[in-house]
Amino acid sequence: MKLTLLLALAAAGASEHGAPVQAGAAQDTIPSCCQNNAPTFDPMHFVANANPPAPGAVVGAVSGKVVFEGDKPEVEPLEIVPQKAEGCVESGSVDSTDRSLLLGAGDGISNVVVVVEVDGAEVEVPEAPIVLDQKACRFEPHVVAIPAGATVTFLNSDAVSHNVHLYPGKNDPFNGTIGAGSKTDRTLDKEDKIRVKCDIHPWMESWILVTETPYMAVTGADGSFEIPDLPPGEYKVEFWHEKLGKGDTKITVGADGSADPIEMKMGEEKKKSRGRRR
C-alpha cells in the first residue's frame, strides 16, 4: 500500500511540473530533428574511402534495409525536468522523442550502423571535422559513424552550457563543458562504440561509432542504407544498433558489380526477467 502511495505521489509530481507527455508517440512519423542533419556532415551517405575504384573498374553497391522483427516495444518519451530545460528552446518545449529505437515505414529501423569488412581497405580521414551539434538540448545527429582518426567537433549551438561526456571503450575519455556558442575538437583514433551524454541535461544522448573501414553507413528513417564502391567479392556485413545489439550477414558482389539487396531483421534480445517477487 505504501508503495502505491509513493507511485501516486510520483505521478502527481510529474504533472505538477507540467512535463510534456507524449505517451505512445507514433512510431511511423519521423521527428523533425532527424530530417535535417548538421550542415557539414551527412552520416547517411558518408564514405571516407582511401581506395577509390580505378576508373573503369567494376564496383558494386550494397544496399538494403534493416527491419524490426518481433513485438514492437512501447517507447516512452524522455523524462525532461522543466527547470533543467530552461533556456534550451526559445519557445515551446524540448523535443522529448526517445530516439533510441525509431521505426519508420515498413518497420524500418533508423540509426543502425552498417559496416562491410573489406580486407586491406584503408581509411581516409576526412579533412573537414565532423560536427556533433548540441541544439535545443538534443545531440544532432543521434548516431554518427566516423572513420578512425577523424576529428569530431562538439558544437554547442544553444544559449546554455552543455557538457560532452564520452564513455569510450578504447579511445581516451573526455568530459568537458562546452559553453554557450562554443565548440571543442577531439580526435578519435581507435575503433570504438562511444556513448555520448550531457550530465547537465541527462536526457541528451548520442552515439559515435568509430570504424576502421571506409565501407559503412547509418540507416535512414525507413531503415534503408547504401554502401557504394565495393569491389567484387564476398563480404561480411555487420549491423549494430544501440538497443538491439549486433547482427551480421554475408553478401556477394558479383563480377559484374551486381549484388542482391539485403533485408536484415533485428529484434530485441531476450532479457532476464526483472522484479518478480517470490
Partner 1 sequence: MADRGDTHYPVPTLNTWFALSSALLLLTTVWMVIDDYNRPWKQYQRQFRDLEVEKLEAQRAALEEEGVAEREGALVAFVEQAEAELASRQAELDAANEELRAAQGEYWRLNEDAKSAKAKYNWERFLVEEERVHLGDETYGTEHLAEMELAMNEAISAAEEAQTAFDAAKEVVAGFQEDVDEAQAQLAAETRDLTRVRERIDQLAPSEVAKILANKIRDDIPGLDFIGPTIKVRKELPADLTFDLNFTRKQRIDMCHTCHMGIDREGFEEDAQPFTTHPRLDLYLTAKSAHPLKDFGCTICHRGSGEALDFVRADHRPNSEEQAAQWEEDHHWEKQHHWDYPMLASDKVEASCVQCHKDSMELIAEDAPVVSHGYELFERYGCYACHKVDWFPTQRKPGPSLKNIQTKVGPEWMAAWIADPRGFRPTTWMPQIFHLENHQPDEVIVTSEYGQGRDILGQEWNDTAVDAITAFVLDRAPVQPLEGPPVAGDAYRGREVMRLVGCYSCHNVAPWGGEEPQTLDPVLATRGTNEHGPNLRGVATKVTPEWLYSWLKEPAAIWSETRMPDLRLSDQEAADIVAYILEDPDGIFTDVPDGWAEGSSPSNREVLAEQARWFFARDGRATIERRLTGEDTAHPWDDTQALKVAVGEKLVQHYGCYSCHEIEGMEDMMPIGVELSNWGSKTVDKLDFGFAYKKELGGRPKLDHHYREGWLERKLDAPRSYDLEKVKNPTEKLRMGWFDFEQDEIEALATFVVGLVDDEVQNARMEPTAQQLAMNDGKRVVRQKNCVACHNVEPGTVTFRDADGVERTVMAEVTAFEDAVLPMPHGEVMDYLEQYAEEDGVEEVGFRLLRTEPDVGTVGSRVFVPVEDFLGATPPEGGDFVQVVADYYLNGGIEMFDPEAESEDDAYYFVTADPDGEGAVEDVDGEFRVYYEEPYDKVRWTFAPPVLWNEGHKVRGEWFFSFLHDVQPIRPQVRVRMPSFTYADGEAEAIVDYFAGRSAVEWPERYTRELRTAQGMDPVEMAAAVGISPKILLEIEDGYAPSIRSDFAKVLAWGDDQGFAMHGPVPMDYEAQVRRSPTYLAAREGELGRDPIATGESLAVNAVNCFQCHFRDGQPPPDAPIAWAPEMSVVPDRLRDDWVHEWLVEPQFVYPGTSMPANFGTDPPQYQDVFPDSTNEQQIQVVLDWLYNLGRTLRTARN
- Name which of residues 225 to 254 contact partner 1 (CB under 8 A): none
Size of the site for partner 1 (CB under 8 A): 48
Q: Which string of x and - marks every residue 77-96 that binds partner 1 (by CB under 8 A)?
A: --x-xxxx------------
Asked whether 162 and 199 are in contact (CB, 8 A), the reply is: no
Q: Rounded to an integer, what distance in angstroms lies between the CA atom of residue 170 and that of residue 85?
A: 32
Q: Which helix (H) or strand (E) holds 9?
A: helix 2-16
Spacing of C-alpha 23 from chain mean position: 22
Q: What one-character-per-residue DSSP string does 62-102 give? A: EEEEEEE-SSPPPPPPPP--TTTTTTTSSSS------TTS-
Which stretch in 57-65, 189-197, 224-232, 254-262 sits in contact with partner 1 by CB under 8 A? 189-197
Q: Pick from 138, 186, 197, 241: which binds partner 1 (CB under 8 A)? A: 197
Is the CB of 157 or the CB of 161 nearer to partner 1? 161
Q: Rounded to an integer, what distance in angstroms lies between the CA atom of residue 120 and that of residue 239?
A: 20
Backbone phi and psi for residue 200, each to the nearest 5 degrees, phi listed first: -75, -40
Is the CB of 122 or the CB of 167 nearer to partner 1? 167
Pairing of strands 138-140, 262-266: unpaired
CA dihedral 234, 194, 70, 276 (to 10 degrees): 140
Q: Which helix (H) or strand (E) holds 194?
A: strand 192-197
Q: Which string of x and - marks every residue 146-175 that binds partner 1 (by CB under 8 A)?
A: --------------xx-xxx-xxxxxxxxx
Q: Pick from 59, 89, 200, 262: which binds partner 1 (CB under 8 A)? A: 200
Is the CB of 9 or the CB of 128 nearer to partner 1? 9
Query: Least separation, in Å, of the C-beta of 33 and partner 1?
Result: 21
From the list 231, 195, 228, 188, the residue with the least C-alpha distance to 211 is 188
272 binds partner 1 (CB under 8 A): yes
Is the CB of 44 or the CB of 160 nearer to partner 1? 160
Is the CB of 15 or the CB of 83 nearer to partner 1? 83
Is the CB of 65 or the CB of 99 nearer to partner 1? 99
**Sign of the dihedral defined by the CA atoms of residues 95, 98, 100, 105, in that order:** negative
9 binds partner 1 (CB under 8 A): yes
Query: Least separation, in Å, of the C-beta of 86 and partner 1?
Result: 9
* Contacting residues toward partner 1, per CB under 8 A: 2-4, 6-7, 9-10, 13, 79, 81-84, 160-161, 163-165, 167-180, 182, 184, 193, 195, 197, 199-200, 202, 270, 272-278
